[in-house]
Amino acid sequence: NAGVTQTPKFQVLKTGQSMTLQCAQDMNHNSMYWYRQDPGMGLRLIYYSASEGTTDKGEVPNGYNVSRLNKREFSLRLESAAPSQTSVYFCASKNRDGKNIQYFGAGTRLSVL
Amino acid sequence: KQEVTQIPAALSVPEGENLVLNCSFTDSAIYNLQWFRQDPGKGLTSLLLIQSSQREQTSGRLNASLDKSSGRSTLYIAASQPGDSATYLCAVSYAGNMLTFGGGTRLMVKP
């Protein structure tokens, strides 16, 4: 079972470059999420998608855009990367079964120089 | 704005010891609270989920309690093992959707 798959696992960017982080889940979940994790700060929600075709801002959306391409895929785009976006990015998904358990991918480690 | 705090930030114990990890939150109107485990370089794995109407949940050697009125949750780990070494995160949920995470407790269990 693949669960939640994130690509790439590692990425180094120069300031101003753009890139897209990919996330796909094979559990037929309705909701998907993007978080960033910084040392000592836990995870903070960037954007989420409650269902296919909808997206909403989380706690720290500035500098990011998202696309819910279909039910399986939810991508996160950095249009002009900044050193402050150096972080570990996690994608998660959740089913609409009332249990409210989110399943996480292994993360993408991004460094912006 | 909801804030979630975990104390201590790091903990080192000898194998076999029983231990308690603490989580506190500022707004008691939560939907539920979850405890996650994170291994180095890996994603998060959900350990226990406590609904707002519940007082505790148990899974094997793990027991999580919830006291909404005081804004606190504890994760009790019995008879700790080196394999329990990881970072433990608590997260609270409102309206069943967004999670607010604490900073985590990094646990090391020494053989």
CA distance B44 to B36: 6
Question: Are A48 and B98 in contact (CB < 8 Å)?
Answer: yes
Q: Is the pLDDT of residue B58 over 90?
A: yes
Q: Which residues pair with B60 in a beta bridge?
A: none
**Reported confidence tier of residue B48, pLDDT bands at 50, 70, 90:** very high
Q: Is A106 an interface residue toward B (CB < 8 Å)?
A: yes
Question: Are B98 and A107 in contact (CB < 8 Å)?
Answer: no
**Reported confidence tier of residue B1, pLDDT bands at 50, 70, 90:** confident
- Which residue, A23, A19, A8, is CA-closest to A72? A23
Q: From residue A27, give the alpha-carbon distance in Å to each of A3, A96, A103, B60.
A: 6, 11, 10, 26
Report pLDDT digits (tens) over B61-80. 999 999 999 999 999 999 99
Question: Are A58 and B98 in contact (CB < 8 Å)?
Answer: yes
What is the SS3 assignment for A112?
strand
**Reported confidence tier of residue A4, pLDDT bands at 50, 70, 90:** very high
pLDDT score at B41: 81
Question: Which token pair is B87?
Answer: 């970072």
pLDDT score at A2: 72
Q: Is the pLDDT of residue B31 over 90?
A: no
**Reported confidence tier of residue B83, pLDDT bands at 50, 70, 90:** very high
Mean pLDDT of chain A: 93
* pLDDT average, residue stretch B98-111: 93
pLDDT score at B7: 92
* pLDDT average, residue stretch A48-69: 93
Q: Is A1 an interface residue toward B (CB < 8 Å)?
A: no
Least CA distance to A41: which residue of chain B? Answer: B103
From chain A residues 21-80, the ones with a CB under 8 A of any chain B CB are: 31, 35, 40-45, 48, 50, 58-59
* pLDDT average, residue stretch B21-37: 92
Distance from CA of A74 to the nearest CA of B (A): 16
pLDDT score at A40: 72
Among the residue ranges A8-22, A52-66, B96-110, the one predicted with the least confidence is B96-110
CA distance A56 to A74: 12
**Reported confidence tier of residue B96, pLDDT bands at 50, 70, 90:** low
Contacts of B89 in chain A (CB under 8 A): 42-43
* pLDDT average, residue stretch B82-111: 91
pLDDT score at A39: 81
Contact residues for A7 (Cβ-Cβ < 8 A; gap 6+): A21, A22, A108
